[in-house]
Amino acid sequence: MSERIVYLDHAATTPLDPEVLTAMLPYFTQHPGNPSSIHQLGRAALQAVDDAREQVALILGCARRELIFTGGGSESVNLAIKGVALARQAAGKGNHIITSAIEHHAVLHAAAYLEQFGFELTVLPVDQHGLVRSDDLRAALRPDTALVSVMYANNEIGTVQPIAELGAICRAAGVPFHTDAVQAAGALPLDVEALNVDLLSLTAHKFYGPKGVGLLYVRRGTPLLPQINGGAQERRRRAGTENVPGIVGLATALTRAEARRPAEAARLRALRDRLIDGLLATIPASWLNGDRERRLPGNANLGFACVEGESLLLLLDQAGICASSGSACTSGSLEPSHVLLALGLDPDAANASLRFSLGHGVHDADIDYVLAALPPMVERLRDVAPCAPARDAVAVA
């Protein structure tokens, strides 16, 4: 392993904040109770879950009863999509789901799964920067639309959608609206009233909390069928003994992320822009994927013509730089990213793209290190690449 590690893969996961660990530890040791137990150890655990719920409700601007703790982002998304779609179908309120082409696979695969239960799926296209157009949503809504799901911020290209606007369109049509806000926590406001959302998914490990614990906000009155059946936990919407340390960790991490959000977003934006501008200026035939302005503070996704992204990742790794091609879920498969293809990139251009996602541990010196290390790597790969530099043509400006 190289001496220096520059971790630029915060969109895949973030390291646990030591203060979050400290808040969690007593619930592994001193307070081991089951929140459903009547005795004092059970009551202490229940109190911790209640307190965590209150903390999260303050940040989302919702009632405590509108929150469901889950086993992570994928579970929250599955509960939102299957839970609402199946409840609406059972009530005779439709068999049609609308989502977008750049969603995380948790959303796309949950929606596709429902096709075998009689649902029809409309996948909204995005523009060259990854933005969903509100006119496309308006045109796609039908009397039998059961649910709309559009992500808040994209995990690969960082594009931030006009969620409040899309939510208002759904509300006027009387259709529940879910947003996968997993990448937004700690970077963008999460007020569910301002966002006009009926359901919102989060996962703690994307904001310096522990892995394996997530959250689903469900607006009061939204029909939802549980997807894990069993005990009466979470108001009968998600059975199973609560992950007490995880829930405490999620609430602590979200509270800390929210408190540092304005300053941290500004800091990351400056680092991100230095990285983007520096790489675009020094590497010929390179381009930025995603919207320049409507973008997560910590996301830089760039393409380098004539370069195999996977090869570049390996060279970066040898220099201690951890980046990513596509999402963590598709890397290794060598399938071009569905997100980049949806922007209109051809498969070669998609495979020539890398994501750098910044976070707390990243500072100016790390950006300097990448700016110095990366250009010669691209040059090296291009020297051996069987591809003419005329490839610039693939670049999406």
Q: How far is the CB of 328 from ligand PLP (least distance, A)?
A: 7
Q: How far is the CB of 267 from ligand PLP (least distance, A)?
A: 21
Q: How far is the CB of 346 from ligand PLP (least distance, A)?
A: 24
Using the structure block, give the residue that is written with the tokens 């690969």: 156
- The smaller minimum CB distance to ligand PLP, of residues 111 and 377, is found at 111
Where does this chain bind ligand PLP (CB under 6 A)? 72-74, 77, 104, 106, 151, 155, 180, 182-183, 203, 205-206, 214
- How many of the other CB atoms lie within 10 Å of CB of 365? 9
> Hey, which residues does 213 pair with through a beta bridge?
none
User: How many Å is the maximal CA-CA distance in the chain?
Assistant: 72
* Residue/partner pairs of 326-333 with CB below 8 Å, 24 or more apart: 326/156, 326/350, 326/353, 326/355, 327/11, 327/12, 327/104, 327/105, 327/155, 327/156, 328/9, 328/12, 328/13, 329/104, 329/105, 330/105
Asked whether 151 and 103 are in contact (CB, 8 A), the reply is yes
Asked whether 327 and 104 are in contact (CB, 8 A), the reply is yes
Q: How far is the CB of 213 from ligand PLP (least distance, A)?
A: 8
- The smaller minimum CB distance to ligand PLP, of residues 73 and 83, is found at 73
CA distance 384 to 382: 5
Tokens of 160: 């931030």
- The smaller minimum CB distance to ligand PLP, of residues 81 and 285, is found at 81
Just list the catalytic residues: 329
- The smaller minimum CB distance to ligand PLP, of residues 252 and 327, is found at 327
